[in-house]
Structure 1
């Protein structure tokens, strides 16, 4: 589970996207050793149709100090691959000590760990071994910093794991459930669409050029997601911890009522803190201000992604608005209670707190 990080670091772009060059991708050639200079590392991956996992794996490697200025060799020729400094998604070998990172071989069952059990693709393998270095460099922090560890886990959960699952053919839902609609806009689908169609030219030069675009696409999204979690998600964690402590000390000793003086993304942090044992699983209502300056009282869901609440706001209030709701509650200034009882609104902080306190007693 995600560990608590006490202090926020506002990261700079330690390595901007411009340092990811769409370099000339080297084709099969007996002159590979001549092209490889003493200071140039070679990344190897398979040629032909490409996928999201190795496209991202190559980008991630180029965010490390070792492979920042590397060339890329796309081939299935074992002799050529053996001359590369690191090989991903081809070769039927997983051995970090030899810098070989394939996941297609029989018997491969490597997972990320830390509670994650999805079989890794080449993206997950590279992220598992190099992710902390990449994050630390991006944030200009030491790799051992607790914030790096927290973001390393979060980025796997929110970004990498789904790519691993898709590449390995692991369904998100049981196979007997028929999806209500198709979704072809995910990152893996968009990378796949960069491959030439069956009736388009698809020689090695074209495929290599499109692979470079795919790798940049995956990398831009990875870094964008990382910047969001470093600059927006992680700072909220400390504020949630502070609010929980203050609310329990001065508002509700039971810990059922939580007051946030400003809106911030609190759900994931609340559930992480509960799972880690930092706080008890008691929070029932969270009161916070919205973007208009009004106040909300929200029922804590049974899980982060659930629409069911631990204790929905009282049934007699649900679906009522404004004066009708104020009369029903006896609290002037009410705005609404959602028909499902998961959230309500009030003009003032004091009014929202009053509604939450009344709901706890009902």
Structure 2
């Protein structure tokens, strides 16, 4: 090999190039580029948009084009016949380029952004959670996977999801759509996807995970509250519904010991009033495992205290999913009495 050829090859190997397809762009490759740019080695990578195989051959990573999925060669397309890759870990949605990049680089991205070791429990847990909460929707939408299993048409339209917003950044039919315009619009789309990814990750890291720790402690102490294990007390409020249902599965809590009521303060004030809330059958459900007694529903204040025989009652919602008391002790009495009725 000549010195010139060797120098050219060395320059090509040192230069990081990310390539996506030309023409109209979509959310999956926009997010893919944003994710790779979180890694130091790709932070300043050149972005190319091309359907030319010669350009692909000069690229470090080829995304959403090329009809090839080969992680060893950094080729991440999902359009080819016979492609059926999924994320695994219980997820069954066919991957788009976003899911492919996240599957292979996501743990490294989270480790870099969070400053945590790649094998840390924080990275491993958030890697799965971020796929469920953020990335999987990119895969489903790009691959035409229906979100709901039904033959009924939707009752309303939504044009505000991130895939729709990325699509809206493409030039309109009566606007110029030169390569320069499309590149500028794609960069905007990728930046938007990347920022929303980071915002979601920041929430999960700084709010969702700490809440899980609080729920874990409360679940572990539930039988100290009531021997049945069906009443849980949080001494500080946190988002608990999703965590509780996940922990029930992880801990294999028997069906006859599943929590029915959760108590928590309304605020951080020392004299805060307390809430007693019935646990829903699932995090998204409006149906309770055991709603507060029907006779209490819609009754308030002294009338409710007289009816229940419990001082300090404030209200029980007409649907029976939540009630309130002036004190923690009163709220606990409401929960325990509701268990018996």
TM over 0.5: yes
The answer to whether structure 1 residue 319 and structure 2 residue 298 are counterparts is yes
The CA deviation string for residues 247-289 of structure 1, in whole angstroms up to 9 with x for no partner, is 32x2112210100001101111111112223544511100001
Find the aligned partners of 2:65 and 2:261 in 1 and give their Cα distance. 51
The answer to whether structure 1 residue 289 and structure 2 residue 268 are counterparts is no
Q: Counterpart in 2 of 1:253?
A: 227
What is the SS of the residue equivalent to 2:40? coil
Q: Which has the higher contact order (CA 8 A, sep 6+)?
A: 1
Match of 2:174 among 199, 209, 233: 199
The TM-score normalised by the length of structure 1 is 0.88
Match of 1:137 among 94, 98, 112: 112
Query: Structure 2: any 5+ residue segments left out of the alignment?
Result: 1-7
Find the aligned partners of 2:46 and 2:246 in 1 and give their Cα distance. 40
- Rg larger in 1 or in 2? 2
Q: Report 1:131-280 matches (<5 A).
A: 131-248=106-223, 250-277=224-251, 279-280=253-254
RMSD: 1.6
Q: How many residue pairs are counted as aligned between the two chains? A: 329
Shift of 1:343: 1.0
Q: Counterpart in 2 of 1:10?
A: none
What is the SS of the residue equivalent to 1:286? strand
The answer to whether structure 1 residue 51 and structure 2 residue 26 are counterparts is yes
Find the aligned partners of 2:160 and 2:285 in 1 and give their Cα distance. 24
Find the aligned partners of 2:56 and 2:14 in 1 and give their Cα distance. 18
Query: Structure 1: any 5+ residue segments left out of the alignment?
Result: 1-32
Moved more, 343-352 or 224-233: 343-352
Find the aligned partners of 2:266 and 2:297 in 1 and give their Cα distance. 20
Find the aligned partners of 2:96 and 2:170 in 1 and give their Cα distance. 19
The CA deviation string for residues 52-83 of structure 1, in whole angstroms up to 9 with x for no partner, is 00000000011123312211110000111111
What is the SS of the residue equivalent to 2:217? helix
Find the aligned partners of 1:181 and 1:327 in 2 and give their Cα distance. 46
The CA deviation string for residues 86-113 of structure 1, in whole angstroms up to 9 with x for no partner, is 1110001011011000011111111111
Shift of 1:175: 4.5
Shift of 1:327: 1.8
The answer to whether structure 1 residue 354 and structure 2 residue 324 are counterparts is no
Find the aligned partners of 2:28 and 2:316 in 1 and give their Cα distance. 45
Match of 1:306 among 285, 293, 296: 285
Shift of 1:39: 3.8
